[in-house]
Amino acid sequence: MARFSVTFQPDQVSVAVPPETSVLEAAAMAGLRLHSPCGGQGRCGKCAVRILSGAGEATSLERGIFASEELAEGWRLACVTRVKGNVEVMVPPEALVVEHRIAVEGLGREILVEPNVQKLALHLAAPSVDDPRADLLRLTEALGGRLGAPDSLRMVRELPGVLREAGYRITTVVVGDALAAIEPGDTAQASYGVAVDIGTTTVVAYLCHLPTGEVAATASGLNPQARYGEDVISRLRLASFEADGLEQLRCAASGAINDLIGRATKEAGVGRKSIYELSVVGNTCMTHLLLGLPPVGLAALPFVPAFREAQYVRAAELGISIHPEGRVYVAPNIGGFVGADTVAVILASELDHTDGLQVAVDIGTNGEIVVAKDTELYACSTAAGPAFEGARINQGMRAAAGAIDEVRVDDDLAYHVLGDGKPSGICGSGLVDAVAELVRVGVVEGGGRLRRPEDVGSVPEKVRRRLIENDGEVQFVLAWGEESGSGKDIAISARDVRELQLAKSAIYAGISILLEKLGHRPAEVERLLLAGAFGNYIRRESAVAIGLIPALPLERIHPIGNAAGLGARLMLASVSLRRRAEEIAERVEHIDLSQQEGFYERFAEAMALRPLP
Amino acid sequence: MARFSVTFQPDQVSVAVPPETSVLEAAAMAGLRLHSPCGGQGRCGKCAVRILSGAGEATSLERGIFASEELAEGWRLACVTRVKGNVEVMVPPEALVVEHRIAVEGLGREILVEPNVQKLALHLAAPSVDDPRADLLRLTEALGGRLGAPDSLRMVRELPGVLREAGYRITTVVVGDALAAIEPGDTAQASYGVAVDIGTTTVVAYLCHLPTGEVAATASGLNPQARYGEDVISRLRLASFEADGLEQLRCAASGAINDLIGRATKEAGVGRKSIYELSVVGNTCMTHLLLGLPPVGLAALPFVPAFREAQYVRAAELGISIHPEGRVYVAPNIGGFVGADTVAVILASELDHTDGLQVAVDIGTNGEIVVAKDTELYACSTAAGPAFEGARINQGMRAAAGAIDEVRVDDDLAYHVLGDGKPSGICGSGLVDAVAELVRVGVVEGGGRLRRPEDVGSVPEKVRRRLIENDGEVQFVLAWGEESGSGKDIAISARDVRELQLAKSAIYAGISILLEKLGHRPAEVERLLLAGAFGNYIRRESAVAIGLIPALPLERIHPIGNAAGLGARLMLASVSLRRRAEEIAERVEHIDLSQQEGFYERFAEAMALRPLP
């Protein structure tokens, strides 16, 4: 059979094809994937190419799409043009499908970018007496007719005006399988989403360019709900039992997100109206409050959330200012106190597709623990508490500029300050480090007692002098007033040590109970992942030394950064990963520690400040 | 194999079944269809029956659903209970699926009621430490897990409160495949919809009980948009080119619907909140205005609507006061001037499944014509005009109380008045009748001229005396001042005859052009359906006599009442018929008469006031 050669420029790739093959098929044989959202029906105009030689007569479809000078230059639709001789084709870059992949930092893998929001620039044929199709039908047919009905009346209302004013050159915004909006001209690249990790204490927003998955800007700030209560429990009470309490907390959450979006869009030079979707993770209470769902079921046993499965909500309904038809994807949660943030950690760390015995610990205001082995996944939440974020600690603070985050004791004490300025407080990792060192040199007893100066004769003088009495309470000074930002001493009190013990024993007991469910002991853990800011700053040696985590060889312990935020970004970048998150939420077995036999004994045992097996 | 007998009360039907058959299956064998929306998984509790003898131990599922005294009385789930011996079962009426059918008046057929809105009363198991499922998951699993995510944030927000306050006895409202609302207690029978036919001049609303399809109340009134312009064209102009014009017309339409709903609900003693859905038909312009869609494309050739396919919109978005999550289904249209009302006429008259050559004519402010043969369907709209609804006629009025609707001429003139009171004007059918009679006796010439008194020597004296001159114009008096409501003569002018000629020749020309498309002549029509109020009141003899419709034997001409309104009710009552309406809109070929060769000649020929072949 006769074959003709088709050469694609500018790459100069050639293939030999039978007569009547479409240029679109020939391109596929040559390894070039061209856009054809209408399914090769000649309607969408996305596969427009320029035939440099061998162009035949234009079809009536093509005469509807191209101006006569374009036709004269050889512009044709690849799906409609059939090969009838040797052909040379110039493929413009906009006709090529570019597969974007993003690297996932720290995890050594790439994901395919497949956002839920797709923008597509189209040049529709104008209506005529022979083609008086309705505006909406003209549009959906150009998109291949595979969409559901638009659920946006606003879009249908704008359609007649936009089509006519823009000369039928428009960009469609498809969210999921619904046509959400249209815009005049080609705005396909102005397409953004925001991944949000809303923590009890901190909120982080990543502004992402959807077509490429790249982060355009990041912004973070304190959760303003903290003004109504530092911990989850006090906010639950306010939202469940006080008039307007839920609405106040809801507005605080959406206000915080609006602020972060404002900062990120300003930094990146992006308009808010170019943001079409948010993906949100957070603990179960935080996602309830953001959605304005009464968390009455979370306030008491058996801790029942209002929803488990992922929710899609209009951003406007939450008071979040993005595109007026923008949506908010709230990731699924696992149970009463194990939320979408834990789903995100599992997704980011791939604990759902793991070999061997692995543990992830995400320490924020709450501490969530996941244990994975093969296909089994268990998760729990501990009231580990805000100690690691500096709350309930006398001079505690978040891991921000001015926080003492590392402490060493030799002849005297040395510390490191975040931001390298003067110290103004102590953050979670600094507290763990300090207590670990004080236990090592004998200033703090294994049981947690802070010794009096007269009981520590063996420690170096400069260290001993840091033990002072203040209002009858013993304190250990990390930084003297002359060194500090405020001019006041920065010290650890006996009560601070106690808070740390309560927090760390909850984590340790949680890890060991979950492992027991799988029939394992802590020493058998092959990989222990530390998620969250705290996990990034903490010295692994110290965490092991005070028995916060099991005494594993250090090479098995890996900080993985803000895995919850990364998971939110992955869910924004890929609908496949969104589905995977939903499978995770369904698969994970939620363990309520307080209902586990032996939990309180385990908790009490883990109070000791020493390496725990 | 052993078989056991299962006897169902109160009908005393018995079947013999193998051991371990479920009572649900046994019921099906006995011809009893029981509710099992959860798919026989023991979750929804809808197949509860009372085992009178032969009840075994209750399962844990059943212990979660029934109180212990209920279990003791023999209450069990038919889907879970297995036959292990002879069993006698009492089936409560609420467990039986009742198939409702409604008769379609005048068409001699019944349809199965399958509304888009389904209400279902459920008694969910309360959460426990062993079953801490999320509220929403508990609900969707009880519904069989076949629903999409709820698109109502309001519903999810109300869910935790309603479940707990109602002791987990609730009624769900499912619209399409989405969970739209929940209500405390059993409100399954409080389920209504409204079918709306929004005409250029008149709006009709049918309040229907969705579970049975029965009409609970009907209300109709004038379309208040008329104050902005009597015909479609003036409203199109206002909506397309005047600031706020569209919004004024939109509000007038939704206001009219709200008024009618108010009257119908009052009459039927039904709450507005028990209405979950509207189905709306109307001409293309009316549905655009109701939806607030700019009809710019309809204002000029090639007459492009904004949408063709059916639209689902939130009632609240249109300002229509029903249940806050209620929806409005706007039926599909066919083209620029052939709207959803014509789709409804075709659906009601089954012209899409017809044998032989049939014609339907719906005469309202516009006149729409459909010609059907086997699988072929053609439709057009004529500017027949408001003459048939009394507009542009000197003393014209709608077919309401006081309208002269029948006229006979013998020695003198006799007329009939709607409502049997004094006459106050003349309606379309009265005008057709009067002109037909005046042509017969020679007062009006076939060409349309109203003769002067001196030219009609042969007509009876009492008739001749009715020809008077008024401001130099000849008029024919139907009712003298002493008989009329206002004390003024009610007369037909030469211009009125001219208006009628223009209107009727447009209809006749439309019919004959569409028939020609199918290769037929008017005389070959096997059935000609007259839809609309006008079609109900008109004397067929007169319509034939003046050449409004082809000169067919009278037995082939059938008035079918408000077929558009009936079609709207059918779309409300049955999702299958809704799909069929959408197929109709796709299948019908829309003919733009003004673009047809020979139309104007045909139009001019049909001006003659005589029977036309």
The answer for B 124-143 residues in CB contact with A (under 8 A) is 127-129, 131-137
Contact A194, A209 (CB under 8 A): no
Which of B143, B153, B165, B247 is the mutation pick for testing A, counting most A CBs within 10 A?
A: B153
> What span, in angstroms and rounded, lies between the C-alpha atoms of B173 and B248?
33
- What CA–CA distances, in Å, run from B517 to A193, B153, B289, B362, B434? 54, 52, 32, 19, 33
Q: Is A524 on the interface with B (CB under 8 A)?
A: no
Q: Is A332 on the interface with B (CB under 8 A)?
A: no
How big is the CA angle at B156 (ends B150 and B157), to the nearest 5 degrees? 150
Q: Is B105 on the interface with A (CB under 8 A)?
A: no
Pick the residue from chain B with its C-alpha nearest to A595.
B129
Element (H, E) at B496: helix B494-517
> What span, in angstroms and rounded, lies between the C-alpha atoms of A262 and B573?
49
Contact A531, A561 (CB under 8 A): yes
Q: Is A592 on the interface with B (CB under 8 A)?
A: yes
Instruction: Encode pLDDT of A237-268 as tens digits.
Output: 999 888 899 999 999 999 999 999 999 999 99
CA distance A297 to chain B (A): 7
> What span, in angstroms and rounded, lies between the C-alpha atoms of B573 and B580?
13
Which of B254, B303, B308 is the mutation pick for testing A, counting most A CBs within 10 A?
A: B308
Q: What is the pLDDT of residue A123?
A: 85
- How does residue B106 score in pLDDT terms, banded at 50, 70 and 90? low
Peptide bond into A211 cis (omega under 30): no
| B149 pLDDT above the threshold of 70 | no
Which among B137, B292, B302 has CB closest to A129?
B302
Q: Is A159 on the interface with B (CB under 8 A)?
A: yes
B351: closest CA among B27, B128, B580? B580
Q: Judge: A164–B137 Cβ closer than 8 Å, yes or no.
A: no
Q: Which region among A362-366, B473-477, B504-508 has the lowest average model confidence (pLDDT)? A: A362-366
A to B CB pairs, distance under 8 Å: 139
Q: Is A488 on the interface with B (CB under 8 A)?
A: no
Q: Which two tokens stand for residue A221?
A: 């700030």
Q: Is A453 on the interface with B (CB under 8 A)?
A: no
Instruction: Encode pLDDT of B228-237 as tens digits.
Output: 887 888 899 9
Instruction: Encode pLDDT of B558-600 as tens digits.
Output: 998 889 999 999 999 999 999 999 999 999 999 988 888 888 8
Q: Judge: B307–A595 Cβ closer than 8 Å, yes or no.
A: no
> Count of residues for chain A?
613
Q: Is A312 on the interface with B (CB under 8 A)?
A: yes
Q: What is the pLDDT of residue A105?
A: 59
Contacts of A246 (CB under 8 A, 6+ apart): A238, A239, A240, A289, A292, A294, A295
- How does residue A456 score in pLDDT terms, banded at 50, 70 and 90? confident
Chain A residues in contact with B314 by the CB 8 A cut-off are: 153
Provide the 8-state DSSP code for B116.
S
Instruction: Encode pLDDT of A286-341 as tens digits.
Output: 999 999 999 999 988 899 999 999 999 999 999 999 999 999 999 999 988 899 99
The answer for B 378-407 residues in CB contact with A (under 8 A) is none
Q: Is B305 on the interface with A (CB under 8 A)?
A: yes
Q: What is the pLDDT of residue B235?
A: 92
Q: Is B311 on the interface with A (CB under 8 A)?
A: yes
Mean pLDDT of chain A: 90
Q: Is B294 on the interface with A (CB under 8 A)?
A: yes
Domains and CATH numbers, chain B: 4-95 (3.10.20.30), 116-184 (3.10.20.880), 192-330 (3.30.420.480), 387-494 (no CATH)
Q: What is the pLDDT of residue B578?
A: 95
Q: What is the pLDDT of residue A3?
A: 86
Q: What is the pLDDT of residue A363?
A: 85
Chain A residues in contact with B297 by the CB 8 A cut-off are: 127, 135, 160, 164
Provide the 8-state DSSP code for A416.
E
Which of B143, B280, B293, B320 is the mutation pick for testing A, counting most A CBs within 10 A?
A: B293
> What span, in angstroms and rounded, lies between the C-alpha atoms of B341 and B428?
20
The mean pLDDT value for A409-431 works out to 91
Provide the 8-state DSSP code for B504.
H
- How does residue A393 score in pLDDT terms, banded at 50, 70 and 90? confident
Q: Judge: B311–A151 Cβ closer than 8 Å, yes or no.
A: no
> What span, in angstroms and rounded, lies between the C-alpha atoms of B139 and B120?
11
Q: Is A441 on the interface with B (CB under 8 A)?
A: no
- How does residue A534 score in pLDDT terms, banded at 50, 70 and 90? confident
Q: What is the pLDDT of residue B527?
A: 95
DSSP, collapsed to helix, strand or coil, labels residue B409 as: strand
